[in-house]
Chains A and B, each alone.
Chain A
Amino acid sequence: MSSEISETNLLDLRGVLCPMNWVRTKLALEELPEGDTLDVILDDGEPMRNVPRSAKGEGHRILQVQEQKDGAYRLTIRSGST
């Protein structure tokens, strides 16, 4: 499955709709020790509007935003204390 967390803590959420994309991001972040990072790939549009805001709202920190060749976005999120 492309959406499993790999060795590099990457979660590919392309094609995953709101709010499931956030639920999976949240679960993955909660698995991580505080301060570790998780990369998620999100479709543009609704997911990019919602997931970053939810992450911030729950105390995580978005370190980097990179546009991908296919128009999706890769976010690097540092796990905060939740």
Chain B
Amino acid sequence: MSNDAPRMEALKADLKHEARKLKLDFNQLKSGGFVKQTQKDLFTVRLRCPGGMLRPEQLQTAARIAEKYGQGQIHLSVRQSVEIPYVDYKHFDDVGKELAAVKWSVASCGPRIRVPTACAGCSYNPNGLTDTQALCAEVDRRFFGTETGHHKFKISFSGCPIDCFRTREMDLGFQGMLEPELDEALCNGCGLCVKGCEENALVMEGELPRRDLVRCNFCGDCVKVCPVDAMLAKRSGWLARVGGKHGKHPLFAYEVAQFLSEEQVCSLVEKTVDWYRENGEGRERIGASIVRHGLGKYMEAVVRPLGMEAVETSAARRRYWSGGNFYE
């Protein structure tokens, strides 16, 4: 029996080695967008679709992969990814080659910046104020896959305050906004802007509309309806929200800065993830880090040094929400 002891040790070491190798591979697979399924050896291949925008040849490739290597199913994830379930890991190389042929790749999982999501924005949605698709593509190009050191990091873009892309539930969310300004000389007093304002932020005072600066949520509807172009865009840009999440314990994000340029959005992404990396703890999301440290610490370390137009007080945030379970 004593002769077996070294053999057993060697065997154990081998197993450990194998297991470690396997675990490492699985981690790599996960970071690369292969998601382990309930079924043995089967994975869901999550494809990288920033802003949910696809070229026809990509869709054709996804269809082919699903038929050849999956079970003929394609799932659309809640974050705009095309996912192909039931792919055996033995086919990963083949799948990779098919994707590369149409310049496509898998998405990511794990503690890193995920593929950003976005609505159509102003490119063809009549409500859109900003070019969500262009900025989403840029943020994806610059930040996709960045390690956070803690947990996942989700970014989303909505082109207007209707916020179809749920920027309040994101680690970082950016929403289009527009500040109107009336050219009194051009205004003919028709009142259509007052009718068009869902916030009741405009009232006629004599012949001219007057804007309630507290109620206006910068949706731009008054500019879009004005028949004589008297209501114009004084400026437009991005409202930034930080610290939102869904999951078992949802958090609604804080508005932290407004009227940002595209470049400022990118700076905020970079600095926010740096802050999270340094100040996060374990596997908490940035929303939890902000709760722990206090929003003031985040503002002081990230927003103010960047010289942005900060949203500092609850009163300043109030125009952007209506209340509910998530607010005190």
* A and B part of one assembly: yes
Count residues on chain B whose CB falls below 8 Å from chain A CBs. 12
Between A52, A53, A54, A63, the greatest number of chain B beta carbons within 10 A of the residue's beta carbon is seen for A53
Partner of B227, one of A48, A62, A73: A62
Mark each residue of chain B from 230 to 242: 1 if its CB lies under 8 Å from any CB of chain A, else 0: 0000000000000
| CB neighbours of A61 from chain B (8 A) | 227
Partner of A52, one of B126, B195, B198: B195
Closest to A42 in B: B195
Mark each residue of chain A from 54 to 67: 1 if its CB lies under 8 Å from any CB of chain B, else 0: 10110001111100
Please tell me if B192 contacts chain A, counting CB pairs below 8 Å.
yes
From residue B204, how far is it (CB to closest CB) to chain A in Å? 11
From residue A31, how far is it (CB to closest CB) to chain B in Å? 21
From residue A52, how far is it (CB to closest CB) to chain B in Å? 5
| CB neighbours of A64 from chain B (8 A) | 190
Q: Are B126 and A62 in contact (CB under 8 A)?
A: no
Give me the interface of A with B, judged by CB distance under 8 Å.
44, 48-49, 52-54, 56-57, 61-65, 73
Expressed in whole angstroms, the Cα–Cα distance for A54 and B191 within the complex equals 16
| CB neighbours of B169 from chain A (8 A) | none
Expressed in whole angstroms, the Cα–Cα distance for A56 and B225 within the complex equals 7
Q: Are A49 and B198 in contact (CB under 8 A)?
A: yes
Q: Are A53 and B191 in contact (CB under 8 A)?
A: no
Q: Are A52 and B196 in contact (CB under 8 A)?
A: yes
A49-B221, A52-B192, A62-B192 given. 13 additional CB < 8 A pairs? A44-B195, A48-B195, A48-B196, A49-B195, A49-B196, A49-B225, A52-B195, A53-B224, A56-B226, A56-B227, A62-B190, A64-B190, A73-B195
Q: Are B225 and A52 in contact (CB under 8 A)?
A: yes
| CB neighbours of A56 from chain B (8 A) | 224-227
